[in-house]
Structure 1
Amino acid sequence: MENKNDIIISPKTKVMQLIETWPQLEDVLIDYVPAFSKLKNPVLRKTVAKIATLQQAATIGNVKVEDLINRLRKEVGQDLLKETEHGGYNTARLWWVNEQKIYKEMDARKMLAAGEHPVTQVMADLKQLPAGMVYKLYAPFLPAPLIDKATSLSFEHWVNEISEAEFEVYFYKS
Protein backbone atom coordinates (compact mmCIF):
# COMPACT_ATOMS: atom_id res chain seq x y z
CA MET A 1 0.00 0.00 0.00
CA GLU A 2 1.23 3.47 -0.87
CA ASN A 3 1.85 6.14 1.73
CA LYS A 4 -1.22 8.32 2.23
CA ASN A 5 0.94 11.41 1.80
CA ASP A 6 1.98 10.24 -1.69
CA ILE A 7 -1.58 10.02 -3.00
CA ILE A 8 -3.60 13.02 -4.08
CA ILE A 9 -7.23 12.12 -4.71
CA SER A 10 -7.99 12.93 -8.35
CA PRO A 11 -10.47 11.92 -11.07
CA LYS A 12 -7.94 9.29 -12.21
CA THR A 13 -7.61 7.68 -8.75
CA LYS A 14 -8.80 4.06 -8.82
CA VAL A 15 -11.66 3.26 -6.44
CA MET A 16 -9.73 0.29 -4.97
CA GLN A 17 -6.64 2.45 -4.33
CA LEU A 18 -8.86 5.00 -2.59
CA ILE A 19 -10.59 2.54 -0.26
CA GLU A 20 -7.41 0.59 0.49
CA THR A 21 -5.60 3.81 1.42
CA TRP A 22 -8.51 5.38 3.32
CA PRO A 23 -10.97 2.60 4.32
CA GLN A 24 -13.24 5.19 5.96
CA LEU A 25 -13.89 6.72 2.52
CA GLU A 26 -15.78 3.64 1.33
CA ASP A 27 -18.89 4.71 3.25
CA VAL A 28 -18.47 8.32 2.07
CA LEU A 29 -18.25 7.10 -1.54
CA ILE A 30 -21.33 4.88 -1.11
CA ASP A 31 -23.31 7.72 0.52
CA TYR A 32 -22.42 10.06 -2.34
CA VAL A 33 -22.79 7.47 -5.14
CA PRO A 34 -25.34 4.88 -3.90
CA ALA A 35 -24.68 2.67 -6.94
CA PHE A 36 -21.30 1.90 -5.35
CA SER A 37 -23.03 0.00 -2.53
CA LYS A 38 -22.35 -2.88 -4.94
CA LEU A 39 -18.74 -2.69 -3.71
CA LYS A 40 -19.93 -4.82 -0.81
CA ASN A 41 -20.18 -7.68 -3.35
CA PRO A 42 -16.73 -9.35 -3.23
CA VAL A 43 -16.73 -10.14 -6.97
CA LEU A 44 -17.49 -6.57 -7.97
CA ARG A 45 -15.04 -5.28 -5.38
CA LYS A 46 -12.22 -7.38 -6.88
CA THR A 47 -13.04 -6.47 -10.45
CA VAL A 48 -14.83 -3.14 -10.82
CA ALA A 49 -13.09 -1.35 -7.94
CA LYS A 50 -9.66 -2.28 -9.33
CA ILE A 51 -10.28 -0.68 -12.71
CA ALA A 52 -12.89 2.03 -12.06
CA THR A 53 -11.64 5.57 -11.54
CA LEU A 54 -13.35 8.24 -9.47
CA GLN A 55 -14.25 10.03 -12.71
CA GLN A 56 -16.08 6.88 -13.80
CA ALA A 57 -17.69 6.60 -10.35
CA ALA A 58 -19.00 10.15 -10.72
CA THR A 59 -20.45 9.31 -14.13
CA ILE A 60 -22.07 6.14 -12.76
CA GLY A 61 -23.58 8.14 -9.91
CA ASN A 62 -24.62 11.00 -12.18
CA VAL A 63 -22.73 13.51 -10.01
CA LYS A 64 -20.15 16.13 -10.95
CA VAL A 65 -16.66 14.67 -10.70
CA GLU A 66 -15.28 17.74 -8.93
CA ASP A 67 -18.03 17.51 -6.28
CA LEU A 68 -17.17 13.86 -5.58
CA ILE A 69 -13.41 14.55 -5.48
CA ASN A 70 -13.88 17.53 -3.17
CA ARG A 71 -16.12 15.53 -0.81
CA LEU A 72 -13.47 12.81 -0.54
CA ARG A 73 -10.57 15.28 -0.27
CA LYS A 74 -12.35 17.19 2.49
CA GLU A 75 -12.65 13.97 4.52
CA VAL A 76 -8.87 13.39 4.43
CA GLY A 77 -7.74 17.03 4.69
CA GLN A 78 -6.54 17.56 1.11
CA ASP A 79 -6.90 20.81 -0.85
CA LEU A 80 -10.11 21.12 -2.80
CA LEU A 81 -10.20 20.60 -6.55
CA LYS A 82 -11.05 23.42 -8.92
CA GLU A 83 -13.70 22.99 -11.64
CA THR A 84 -12.61 20.28 -14.13
CA GLU A 85 -13.68 19.15 -17.55
CA HIS A 86 -16.01 16.15 -17.48
CA GLY A 87 -15.68 13.65 -20.32
CA GLY A 88 -19.01 11.92 -19.88
CA TYR A 89 -20.60 9.20 -21.96
CA ASN A 90 -22.89 9.34 -25.00
CA THR A 91 -26.45 9.35 -23.71
CA ALA A 92 -28.08 10.98 -26.75
CA ARG A 93 -29.24 8.34 -29.23
CA LEU A 94 -26.79 8.13 -32.13
CA TRP A 95 -27.60 7.64 -35.82
CA TRP A 96 -26.21 4.10 -35.92
CA VAL A 97 -28.39 2.75 -33.09
CA ASN A 98 -30.72 0.43 -34.97
CA GLU A 99 -32.11 -2.87 -33.72
CA GLN A 100 -31.64 -4.40 -37.20
CA LYS A 101 -27.87 -3.71 -36.99
CA ILE A 102 -27.42 -5.67 -33.76
CA TYR A 103 -24.94 -8.44 -34.50
CA LYS A 104 -24.72 -9.84 -30.97
CA GLU A 105 -26.19 -9.19 -27.51
CA MET A 106 -24.92 -10.09 -24.07
CA ASP A 107 -26.54 -9.88 -20.65
CA ALA A 108 -23.81 -9.05 -18.13
CA ARG A 109 -26.35 -9.24 -15.31
CA LYS A 110 -26.42 -13.04 -15.55
CA MET A 111 -22.63 -13.34 -15.51
CA LEU A 112 -22.28 -10.96 -12.56
CA ALA A 113 -25.00 -12.83 -10.64
CA ALA A 114 -23.00 -16.03 -11.23
CA GLY A 115 -19.88 -14.37 -9.79
CA GLU A 116 -18.19 -13.91 -13.17
CA HIS A 117 -16.89 -10.68 -14.67
CA PRO A 118 -17.92 -10.02 -18.29
CA VAL A 119 -15.08 -7.74 -19.46
CA THR A 120 -13.03 -10.47 -21.15
CA GLN A 121 -16.06 -11.88 -22.96
CA VAL A 122 -17.31 -8.47 -24.09
CA MET A 123 -13.87 -7.44 -25.38
CA ALA A 124 -13.55 -10.74 -27.28
CA ASP A 125 -17.02 -10.22 -28.77
CA LEU A 126 -16.20 -6.65 -29.78
CA LYS A 127 -13.04 -7.78 -31.57
CA GLN A 128 -15.24 -10.10 -33.69
CA LEU A 129 -17.82 -7.38 -34.46
CA PRO A 130 -18.03 -6.67 -38.20
CA ALA A 131 -17.74 -3.04 -39.34
CA GLY A 132 -21.10 -1.28 -39.51
CA MET A 133 -22.66 -3.58 -36.92
CA VAL A 134 -23.79 -3.06 -33.32
CA TYR A 135 -23.11 -4.99 -30.10
CA LYS A 136 -25.71 -4.61 -27.32
CA LEU A 137 -24.79 -5.11 -23.66
CA TYR A 138 -27.24 -5.28 -20.75
CA ALA A 139 -25.75 -4.29 -17.38
CA PRO A 140 -27.00 -3.60 -13.82
CA PHE A 141 -24.83 -0.46 -13.61
CA LEU A 142 -23.01 1.86 -16.00
CA PRO A 143 -19.91 -0.17 -17.00
CA ALA A 144 -17.69 2.92 -17.28
CA PRO A 145 -14.31 1.10 -17.34
CA LEU A 146 -15.56 -1.23 -20.07
CA ILE A 147 -16.86 1.69 -22.14
CA ASP A 148 -13.53 3.49 -21.72
CA LYS A 149 -11.63 0.39 -22.88
CA ALA A 150 -13.87 -0.06 -25.93
CA THR A 151 -13.60 3.65 -26.77
CA SER A 152 -9.80 3.40 -26.60
CA LEU A 153 -10.09 0.68 -29.28
CA SER A 154 -12.09 3.05 -31.56
CA PHE A 155 -15.57 1.71 -30.83
CA GLU A 156 -18.37 4.24 -30.56
CA HIS A 157 -20.93 3.80 -27.79
CA TRP A 158 -24.37 4.88 -26.70
CA VAL A 159 -25.71 4.42 -23.16
CA ASN A 160 -29.44 3.96 -22.61
CA GLU A 161 -30.29 4.16 -18.90
CA ILE A 162 -33.50 2.19 -18.40
CA SER A 163 -33.41 2.61 -14.60
CA GLU A 164 -30.85 3.12 -11.84
CA ALA A 165 -30.09 -0.61 -11.97
CA GLU A 166 -30.57 -1.32 -15.68
CA PHE A 167 -28.48 -0.06 -18.57
CA GLU A 168 -28.23 -0.92 -22.23
CA VAL A 169 -24.89 -0.08 -23.83
CA TYR A 170 -24.59 -0.18 -27.59
CA PHE A 171 -21.16 -0.43 -29.24
CA TYR A 172 -20.58 0.35 -32.90
CA LYS A 173 -17.65 -0.51 -35.11
CA SER A 174 -17.26 1.86 -38.06
Structure 2
Amino acid sequence: MEKLIITPKTKIFDLLEAYPQLEDILIQAAPPFKKLRNPVLRKTIAKITTLSQAATIGGLKVEELINKLRTEVGQANVEVVGDKGENYVTEKPSWFNENNVAETIDIREMLNAGDQPVHEVMSAIKKLNDTEILKVVAPFVPAPLLDKSLSMEYKHWLDKKDSEEYWVFFIK
Protein backbone atom coordinates (compact mmCIF):
# COMPACT_ATOMS: atom_id res chain seq x y z
CA MET A 1 0.00 0.00 0.00
CA GLU A 2 1.24 3.49 -0.89
CA LYS A 3 1.97 5.41 2.30
CA LEU A 4 0.51 8.87 2.77
CA ILE A 5 2.88 11.79 2.07
CA ILE A 6 2.49 14.27 4.94
CA THR A 7 1.74 17.84 3.77
CA PRO A 8 0.02 20.90 5.32
CA LYS A 9 -3.18 19.85 3.49
CA THR A 10 -3.15 16.33 4.99
CA LYS A 11 -6.26 15.74 7.09
CA ILE A 12 -5.55 14.61 10.67
CA PHE A 13 -7.91 11.65 10.27
CA ASP A 14 -6.01 10.41 7.18
CA LEU A 15 -2.67 10.98 8.92
CA LEU A 16 -3.69 8.90 11.94
CA GLU A 17 -5.23 6.19 9.76
CA ALA A 18 -1.94 5.85 7.84
CA TYR A 19 0.35 6.42 10.84
CA PRO A 20 -1.47 5.65 14.13
CA GLN A 21 1.85 5.99 15.99
CA LEU A 22 1.83 9.75 15.26
CA GLU A 23 -1.05 10.40 17.68
CA ASP A 24 1.36 10.68 20.63
CA ILE A 25 3.69 12.95 18.62
CA LEU A 26 0.77 15.27 17.80
CA ILE A 27 -0.34 15.37 21.43
CA GLN A 28 3.21 16.10 22.65
CA ALA A 29 3.56 18.86 20.02
CA ALA A 30 0.45 20.64 21.25
CA PRO A 31 -1.63 19.76 24.31
CA PRO A 32 -4.96 20.79 22.65
CA PHE A 33 -4.49 17.74 20.42
CA LYS A 34 -5.22 15.41 23.34
CA LYS A 35 -8.85 15.92 22.30
CA LEU A 36 -7.99 13.54 19.44
CA ARG A 37 -8.28 10.71 21.95
CA ASN A 38 -12.03 11.45 22.11
CA PRO A 39 -13.47 9.02 19.51
CA VAL A 40 -16.30 11.40 18.66
CA LEU A 41 -14.00 14.33 17.89
CA ARG A 42 -11.69 11.94 16.08
CA LYS A 43 -14.53 11.02 13.69
CA THR A 44 -15.72 14.58 13.10
CA ILE A 45 -13.11 17.30 13.52
CA ALA A 46 -10.17 15.14 12.47
CA LYS A 47 -11.87 14.36 9.14
CA ILE A 48 -11.98 18.01 8.04
CA THR A 49 -9.03 19.56 9.87
CA THR A 50 -5.79 19.82 7.91
CA LEU A 51 -2.35 19.77 9.51
CA SER A 52 -2.01 23.45 8.58
CA GLN A 53 -5.20 24.22 10.55
CA ALA A 54 -4.07 21.93 13.37
CA ALA A 55 -0.79 23.82 13.66
CA THR A 56 -2.79 27.03 14.05
CA ILE A 57 -5.01 25.44 16.71
CA GLY A 58 -1.89 24.23 18.54
CA GLY A 59 -0.04 27.53 18.21
CA LEU A 60 2.74 25.89 16.17
CA LYS A 61 4.57 26.80 12.99
CA VAL A 62 3.15 24.65 10.19
CA GLU A 63 6.54 23.56 8.86
CA GLU A 64 7.75 22.57 12.34
CA LEU A 65 4.72 20.32 12.87
CA ILE A 66 4.95 18.82 9.36
CA ASN A 67 8.69 18.17 9.68
CA LYS A 68 8.32 16.62 13.13
CA LEU A 69 5.70 14.20 11.77
CA ARG A 70 7.64 13.53 8.53
CA THR A 71 10.85 12.79 10.46
CA GLU A 72 8.97 10.23 12.60
CA VAL A 73 7.90 8.26 9.52
CA GLY A 74 11.13 8.68 7.52
CA GLN A 75 9.98 11.34 5.05
CA ALA A 76 12.28 14.22 4.02
CA ASN A 77 11.72 17.62 5.64
CA VAL A 78 9.82 20.34 3.82
CA GLU A 79 10.90 23.93 3.36
CA VAL A 80 8.92 26.84 4.79
CA VAL A 81 5.24 26.62 3.91
CA GLY A 82 2.61 29.33 3.90
CA ASP A 83 0.61 29.53 7.11
CA LYS A 84 -3.05 30.43 6.63
CA GLY A 85 -3.35 31.11 10.33
CA GLU A 86 -1.79 34.52 9.87
CA ASN A 87 -5.03 35.55 8.13
CA TYR A 88 -7.02 35.23 11.36
CA VAL A 89 -8.09 38.55 12.87
CA THR A 90 -7.25 38.58 16.58
CA GLU A 91 -7.35 42.36 17.17
CA LYS A 92 -10.79 43.83 17.90
CA PRO A 93 -12.03 45.23 14.56
CA SER A 94 -13.75 48.59 14.06
CA TRP A 95 -16.98 46.89 12.89
CA PHE A 96 -17.45 45.07 16.21
CA ASN A 97 -20.25 46.31 18.45
CA GLU A 98 -21.52 44.08 21.30
CA ASN A 99 -25.05 45.43 20.76
CA ASN A 100 -25.10 44.00 17.21
CA VAL A 101 -24.65 40.37 18.29
CA ALA A 102 -27.85 38.86 16.91
CA GLU A 103 -27.23 35.20 17.74
CA THR A 104 -24.83 33.03 19.73
CA ILE A 105 -23.99 29.44 18.76
CA ASP A 106 -22.02 27.35 21.25
CA ILE A 107 -20.42 24.67 19.08
CA ARG A 108 -18.94 22.79 22.07
CA GLU A 109 -22.13 20.73 22.50
CA MET A 110 -22.27 19.95 18.78
CA LEU A 111 -18.65 18.80 18.76
CA ASN A 112 -19.14 16.63 21.85
CA ALA A 113 -22.18 15.06 20.19
CA GLY A 114 -20.10 14.28 17.10
CA ASP A 115 -21.80 16.87 14.90
CA GLN A 116 -19.96 19.09 12.44
CA PRO A 117 -20.89 22.76 13.10
CA VAL A 118 -19.58 24.34 9.88
CA HIS A 119 -22.87 24.12 7.95
CA GLU A 120 -25.01 25.40 10.82
CA VAL A 121 -22.67 28.34 11.44
CA MET A 122 -22.43 29.25 7.73
CA SER A 123 -26.21 29.08 7.46
CA ALA A 124 -26.54 31.43 10.46
CA ILE A 125 -24.04 33.90 8.95
CA LYS A 126 -25.98 33.96 5.65
CA LYS A 127 -29.14 34.98 7.54
CA LEU A 128 -27.49 38.03 9.16
CA ASN A 129 -28.33 41.51 7.92
CA ASP A 130 -25.45 43.91 7.16
CA THR A 131 -24.91 45.11 10.73
CA GLU A 132 -25.75 41.92 12.65
CA ILE A 133 -23.00 39.81 14.21
CA LEU A 134 -22.95 36.07 14.93
CA LYS A 135 -21.03 34.92 18.02
CA VAL A 136 -19.62 31.39 18.06
CA VAL A 137 -18.22 29.81 21.24
CA ALA A 138 -15.62 27.08 20.61
CA PRO A 139 -13.27 24.93 22.75
CA PHE A 140 -10.29 25.67 20.43
CA VAL A 141 -9.46 27.84 17.40
CA PRO A 142 -12.07 26.60 14.89
CA ALA A 143 -9.63 26.75 11.95
CA PRO A 144 -11.83 24.90 9.41
CA LEU A 145 -14.70 27.27 10.20
CA LEU A 146 -12.48 30.37 9.93
CA ASP A 147 -10.97 29.15 6.65
CA LYS A 148 -14.47 28.51 5.24
CA SER A 149 -15.67 31.98 6.30
CA LEU A 150 -12.56 33.58 4.75
CA SER A 151 -13.20 31.72 1.48
CA MET A 152 -16.72 33.22 1.48
CA GLU A 153 -15.29 36.67 2.30
CA TYR A 154 -17.06 37.05 5.64
CA LYS A 155 -15.28 39.11 8.27
CA HIS A 156 -14.41 37.63 11.65
CA TRP A 157 -12.74 38.40 14.94
CA LEU A 158 -11.16 35.58 16.95
CA ASP A 159 -11.14 36.43 20.67
CA LYS A 160 -9.28 33.96 22.91
CA LYS A 161 -10.90 33.83 26.35
CA ASP A 162 -8.66 31.04 27.74
CA SER A 163 -7.01 27.84 26.50
CA GLU A 164 -10.39 26.05 26.40
CA GLU A 165 -12.67 28.83 25.18
CA TYR A 166 -12.58 30.96 22.06
CA TRP A 167 -15.21 33.41 20.87
CA VAL A 168 -15.46 34.09 17.16
CA PHE A 169 -17.57 36.95 15.86
CA PHE A 170 -18.71 36.89 12.22
CA ILE A 171 -20.24 39.63 10.08
CA LYS A 172 -21.06 39.71 6.36
**Interval of TM-score (by shorter of Structure 1 and Structure 2):** over 0.9
Q: Report the identity percentage.
A: 50
Amino acid at match of 1:164: S
- What SS class does the counterpart of residue 45 from structure 1 fall into? helix
TM-score, normalization: structure 2? 0.92
Which residue does 1:84 correspond to in 2? 81
Find out whether 1:125 has 2:124 as its counterpart: yes
1:41 to 38, 42, 64: 38
Distance of 2:115 and 2:82 partners within structure 1:
34
Instruction: Pick which of 36-45 and 17-26 moved more.
Output: 36-45
Distance of 1:33 and 1:3 partners within structure 2:
28
Query: Does the 8 A contact of 2:40 with 2:113 survive in 1?
Result: no
Which residue does 2:169 correspond to in 1? 170
TM-score, normalization: structure 1? 0.91
Deviation at 1:84, TM superposition (A): 2.1
Which residue does 1:108 correspond to in 2? 107
Unaligned segments of structure 2, at least 5 residues: none
Which residue does 2:67 correspond to in 1? 70
Distance of 1:14 and 1:44 partners within structure 2:
13
2:13 to 12, 16, 20: 16
Distance of 2:55 and 2:26 partners within structure 1:
10
- What SS class does the counterpart of residue 150 from structure 1 fall into? helix
C-alpha distance after superposition, 1:6-43 (max 9, x if no partner) = x3211111111110011101111111021111111122
Distance of 2:83 and 2:143 partners within structure 1:
13
- What SS class does the counterpart of residue 158 from structure 1 fall into? strand
1:32 to 29, 33, 44: 29
- What SS class does the counterpart of residue 94 from structure 2 fall into? coil
Distance of 2:6 and 2:112 partners within structure 1:
31
Query: Does the 8 A contact of 1:33 with 1:57 survive in 2?
Result: no
Matched residue count = 170
